[in-house]
């Protein structure tokens, strides 16, 4: 299985809602990533997990809360988001000890009303 899956595909939420994005991979990768991508822009790194521990936080607002329950799963918990947080959220994974070749999921299209 060489796939990264993400659910849901689309999400619409209000500014007072709490929701979660989920990402899963079964490639045995021990590094997982969250990116945010606005229209016509490259992906922006948000968080990196290595061996289930948070290793990079790119100064992301606390209304985004990542979680890595095990080596195959990555969650992004959302609370009190703003309309400007509307974007495509991409998950990726990579094998430790390689050239940091990252495999991306299809993304979750998030709209904050």
From 11-19, 59-67, 68-76, 98-106, give the range in contact with another protein by CB under 8 A. 98-106
3-state SS, one letter per residue, for the chain: CCCEEEECCEEEECCCCEEEEEEEECCCCCEEEEEEECCCCCCEEEEEEECCEEEEECCCCCCEEEEEEECCEEEEEEECCCHHHCEEEEEEEECCCCCCCCEECCCEEEEEC
User: Using CB under 8 A, which residues numbered 5 to 24 contact another protein?
Assistant: 6
Of the candidate spans 11-19, 67-75, 79-87, 94-102, the one that interacts with another protein by CB under 8 A turns out to be 94-102
- Count of chain residues binding another protein (CB under 8 A): 33
**Contacting positions for another protein (CB under 8 A):** 4, 6, 30-31, 33, 40-43, 45, 48-50, 55-56, 58, 88, 90, 92, 94, 96-107, 109
């Amino acid at each position: 299985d060489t796939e990264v899956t993400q659910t849901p595909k689309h999400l619409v939420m209000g500014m007072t809602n709490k929701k979660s994005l989920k990402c899963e991979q079964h490639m045995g990768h021990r590094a997982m990533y969250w990116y945010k991508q606005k229209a016509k822009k490259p992906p922006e790194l948000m968080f990196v997990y290595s061996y289930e521990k948070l290793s990079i936080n790119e100064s992301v607002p606390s209304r985004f809360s990542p979680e890595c329950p095990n080596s195959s799963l990555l969650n992004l918990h959302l609370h009190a988001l703003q309309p400007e947080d509307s974007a495509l959220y991409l998950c990726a994974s990579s094998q430790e000890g390689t050239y940091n070749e990252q495999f991306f999921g299809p993304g979750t299209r998030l709209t904050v009303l």
